[in-house]
Each structure stands twice: as C-alpha cells, then as structure tokens.
Structure 1
Amino acid sequence: MYKILIVEDERIIANAIEQHLSKWGFEVKQVTDFDRVLEEFAAFSPELVILDILLPYYNGYYWCGEIRKRSKVPILFLSSASDNMNLVMAINMGGDDFVPKPFDLDVLTAKVQALLRRTYSFGGTGILMEHKGVILNLGDGSLSYEGSTMELTKNELKILQLLFEQKGQIVCREDIMKRLWDSDSFIDDNTLTVNVTRLRKKLSQIGLSSLIKTKKGVGYLVEG
C-alpha cells in the first residue's frame, strides 16, 4: 500500500482528495501543521506528496525545495494559479507533475498512479525505494541521504533492497543468504556478518550508522 501525504490548506479539497484516494487503497495523511511540514513528512515517510503552492507560512515551492534536499519522492503540485509561469516554476523546483485547480478527482488519481508506476515499478530501470529520507536506487545501485550519494556493491544493494521491502519486520539471516547466494547451504554464516559489517561501516560515513538493526541470533531489520 503506497502512502501519500497531502499538503493542502483548503480542508474541503484535502478531505475530498483523501477520501477519493483512500477508496483506491492508498494510505493517506493530511499535514495539519503547516509550519512543520518536514517533520510530518519525515514521520509519515510517504511514497508520494501532493503539494499545493499557496500555503500558510511558506509556499509549496519552499517545501518542495526542502523535501528535495532529503528525498527524491515524487511530488505532484496543485495550484489555482495555472499559468505557465507557475507550471515552469513547479517543475524547476523539483516537482514531477502539476494539476491546476479546479480538477477532476479521477484525473488526479490517474496522475498519482502514473507517477507511482514510473517511480516504483520493478519493470523500470530507475526504481527508487524511499524510507525516512534514504533513497535506494535499484537502477544504478546507489544510495542517497541528505545530499550525499554512495555506490553500493551488488551484495550491499541486495541486502538493503530486501530490508527495505520488509521494513519494520525482522528478516532472518537464512532469507538474506538465499537472496545473496541463491542458497543458505554451504555458505559460511560469518560471510553474511562480514557483508553487513562492511555495509554498516559504509553507511556510517553519511550518518546512517543506525539504519540496520540487529536482532541477535535471528536477523536484521530496517525499522518502519
């Protein structure tokens, strides 16, 4: 189930979007404190953001820029100001699509689905997996966090992909070994430990030393 964050000051519009998207099976949350958008974004860890331009305190362009410093999550702009200047500005600030008000909820939903499909479809070459600001790019085997990007080895990428797919759940050592080597037989158990230790050391260099948690004697997890 994809999580969608709505940053929209007009409560009637926000409620209508939430109700409609919820019917399609999305988990939807509305920002309630427009001075703390980043905090709500980090706490909810959405796969897509619907962002209005006209907001209290700071406009949508500002928040788009702040989110882009931390995440490549797709951003869909909304605005009653539908002239070309606003469209160009939204895209230049890092937005992925733009829907002018008033809009049809079915059209909005179709755009949301298309954005999610382009970003997260396993059939694509540039799939991104996002969790609390950490971006795992399965297309080029890289990991990005707060402006830093690192290249991952094949095994490091497989370990993180599996943990991201099951975030919040303990992944047993046997399952990780099967993903890495297509078998948990004839593989020295210490080999996995060495791989995870090296990966943790690498992650610590960009401030992610606590991303992977150990459950002694069981396996590893990325907390949800």
Structure 2
Amino acid sequence: MYRIFIVEDDDKIGAVLKRSMEKYGFEALCASQFREMIPELEAYAPHLVLLDINLPYFDGYYWCRQIRARSSMPIIFISAREGEMDQVMAIENGGDDYITKPIHLDLLMAKVKGILRRVYGEYAAATGLTIPETELNVQGLRLNLSRNELVWQKQKVELTKNEHLLAKCFMQQLGQVVSRDQLLEALWDDVQFVDNNTLTVNVTRLRKKLEELGLPKAIETVRGQGYKLILDDGREEPS
C-alpha cells in the first residue's frame, strides 16, 4: 500500500486530501510539524509527497529542497499560486508536478496514480529499470535497508550491522521460529568457529533496541529451537 505524506497547513484541505487518498486505497498522513517536518517525514517513509507552498516558518520550495537532499520520492506541489514563475520555481526546486487550488480531486488522483505507476509500478517495470528495495515493512515495523534504521510508530533507532541483519531475518519470517543456525548463517559466512554466545549477545542487543521502540516482548525465545518475532496486532504475514 502506497503512503502519501500531505504537507498542508489548512486543516480542512488537509482532511479532504487525506480522505481522498484513503478512498482510493492509499495510506495518508498530514504533517503536524511545520517548523521541522523532516523527522516526521522520515519516520513515515512515504512514497509520494503533496506539498503546499505557503506554509508556516518555511515555504514549500525550502521543504522540497530539504526532501530532495535526502530522497528522490515524487513531490507534487499544490498551491493557490497560479503564476507561471511559481510553477517554474516548483519544478526547479525539485518538484515533479504542480496543481493549482481550488483542487480538482479527479485530476489530482490521476496525477498521483500516474506518478506512482511510473516510479514504482507497472511503467517502471516496463522500462526494464529495477527499483531497489529500500524498506522492509512488516505490520508497521519498518526497516530502512540503506540506513540501518528501525521505525515503529514514529519512534526510530539506529542499528548496528549485525542488529540490522538479525532484524531483517526475523521480519522476513514474522511469527515463525527462526533457528539459531539460520541466524548464525545470516550473520557470518562460516559458522563453525563462531561462539554460540556471540549470537545470544546480538539478539539481546536487538531486543533492547525493540524495547526502545516500545516493543519489549517482540522477540520470543523458543526453547531448543531458536527465536521468533511477534508483533501486537496478530497478523503474521509481511506486507
């Protein structure tokens, strides 16, 4: 499911946009921090941003540049400004498209779906270009594969290389018992000379990181078999 991050300081317009995105099967979140929104954006890890120009503290051009310094995700400007130069500035600052207010929702949805198809979906596949996987998302627990970050409900922790590899292994087999041998192989190519306690130490460290996120009992020990990752809502299939 694609995630849309809406940067709009008019609560009514933001609510309309959010409902429209959800109506068409997308997840959507309205920005709540306009002085410093990058942490909120990075925690949500959207696939596309809808960005107003007239915002408190800093304008949309500024935030577009900040996003572009970190990501190539699509950005659609939505603004009451109708001037040609405003549209030029939006594109030159890194925007992908521009829609003027009042918003025609059918046109907006057509543009959103078209960009998502081109960047992530069927059109991207048709070009022969591969879109690298940058995130593993399991029931809202998100592992950033390029930055070694683990995110849960807007909380974020940094992982070591070994913690990252263990988290990936557990998340790919959510709810299933992962044997100690499987985990050792995920960490080291040659497991014959690895002290078994080394694995225990690494699992303990990952447990502590999950506790920091608010998941104190996520990794269960299955005596004589290994470990398994359990999240709160009961589903056991990765998204």
Contact 1:70 1:133 in 2 (8 A): no
2:54 is matched with: 54
**CA 1:133–1:74 in structure 2 vs 1: closer, same or farther (change >3 Å)?**
farther
SS in 1 for 2:98: strand
2 CA distance for matches of 1:85 and 1:75? 18
* 1:115 is aligned to 2:115: yes
Paired residues, number = 172
2:41 is matched with: 41
1 CA distance for matches of 2:91 and 2:132? 19
Q: Which has the larger radius of gyration?
A: 2
Residue 46 of structure 1 aligns to which amino acid in structure 2?
P
Residue 5 of structure 1 aligns to which amino acid in structure 2?
F
Residue 23 of structure 1 aligns to which amino acid in structure 2?
K
Show CA shifts across 1:20-79 (max 9, x none): 111111111101221121121012111111000110000001111111111111111111
SS in 2 for 1:170: helix
Residue 127 of structure 1 aligns to which amino acid in structure 2?
I
1:3 is matched with: 3
Runs (5+) with no aligned partner, structure 1: 137-142, 146-159, 173-187, 196-209
Aligned-residue sequence identity (percent) comes to 38
1:131-146 matches, cutoff 5 A: 131=135
1 CA distance for matches of 2:86 and 2:147? 29
Contact 1:91 1:97 in 2 (8 A): yes
Q: What is the root-mean-square deviation of aligned Cα atoms in Å?
A: 3.9
**CA 1:144–1:74 in structure 2 vs 1: closer, same or farther (change >3 Å)?**
farther
Contact 1:120 1:128 in 2 (8 A): no
1 CA distance for matches of 2:9 and 2:102? 15
1:1-224 matches, cutoff 5 A: 1-121=1-121, 123=125, 124=127, 125-127=129-131, 129-131=133-135, 170-172=171-173, 193-194=187-188, 217=226
Residue 42 of structure 1 aligns to which amino acid in structure 2?
E
**CA 1:12–1:79 in structure 2 vs 1: closer, same or farther (change >3 Å)?**
same
Q: Report deviation, 1:192.
A: 5.3
1 CA distance for matches of 2:30 and 2:118? 24
Q: Report deviation, 1:144.
A: 8.5
2 CA distance for matches of 1:36 and 1:129? 27
2 CA distance for matches of 1:218 and 1:48? 36
2 CA distance for matches of 1:21 and 1:6? 10
Runs (5+) with no aligned partner, structure 2: 136-141, 149-164, 174-181, 190-205, 211-218, 230-238
